[in-house]
Amino acid sequence: MARWKNIALWLFGIASLILIYSFARNKHDQAKIKSLEIDIDYSKKQYFVKETEIKKLVQIEYPYLDSLYLREINIKLLEEKLDNHPSISKAEVFSTLDGILRIEVTQKMPVARFMHTGASYYLDAKGDSMPLSPNFSARVPLVTGSISTSNRAEVFQFVNTLSKDEFFRNFFAGIEISANGEWLLFPKPGHHKVLLGKPENAEVKLKKLKIFYQSAVTKKNIDSLKTINLKYKGQVICRKYK
């Protein structure tokens, strides 16, 4: 008897949940859109996407948004349209029972900027190309010189290595790649260049460079440096301005 009672209570509970869900769903479907709320993640201080752009994209799909019911909004389609924005990594669209249509936007994060053969574009945190934006210019290393698909992948790996080290994060302003595949790095502090050579064993070379900076370079003597050469195994060769 107790077993059947438990089953009945269980079934009643499920039926109650279905009824509550159906009621809430019906209330949601009958709700008119009161307002549009847009939340763009600016926590990493990147400003590629503006709220006005998102509103325009929504307006193209739904010109008379204020007169629509929530049930008339195709959430998935709207997310796909927003995801096609060149500077948006992910858009999430949802609505509330009180009639608010909410859009949350995550921007793409550039890690390097390439400039060659008259073209300029970013490489984002996923390793994909990202066009420049008229709204904002990111402070990431500028890569110039002989650029190819293979060394684009090497640059992506290199900047990821830099980002994991607090000392080298945001340390280099540029990378120049020569026709023979050797790299020239341009640090932000001082007026010198770092001859990395080819990017093989970059982590080992960066460790040597870090030790050199921390042990031999000061605020007083950094401007006297002309080049730091890491091309040769186990060596750091330094040249100064005369």
- Read off the pLDDT band of 14 (50, 70, 90): low
For residue 2, how many other CB atoms are within 10 A of its CB?
A: 6
Cα 133 to Cα 50, 137, 142, 200, 229: the distances in Å are 11, 7, 15, 33, 36
Q: How is the chain split into domains, by residue range?
A: 31-107, 110-240
Per CATH, 31-107 and 110-240 having the same topology is answered no
Q: Under CATH, domain 31-107 is a member of which superfamily?
A: membrane protein fhac (3.10.20.310)
Task: At 6, list the tokens.
Answer: 């438990």
Task: At 47, list the tokens.
Answer: 């400003």
- Read off the pLDDT band of 66 (50, 70, 90): confident
> φ, ψ for residue 35 (rounded to 5)?
-160, 165
110-240 belongs to which CATH class?
Answer: alpha beta
Please say if the pLDDT value at position 130 is more than 70. Answer: yes
In terms of C-beta density within 10 A (0-12 exposed, 13-18 middle, 19 or more buried), how is residue 158 classed? buried
In the chain, the percentage of residues whose pLDDT exceeds 70 is 88
Residues paired with 113 in a beta bridge: 122, 142
CA neighbor of 239 nearest in space, from 194, 182, 175: 194
Look at residue 97 in the predicted model and tell me its pLDDT.
80
156-204 pLDDT, tens digit each: 999 999 999 999 999 999 999 999 999 999 999 999 999 999 998 999 9
Look at residue 27 in the predicted model and tell me its pLDDT.
46
| Minimum mean pLDDT range among 44-48, 51-55, 95-99, 213-217 | 95-99
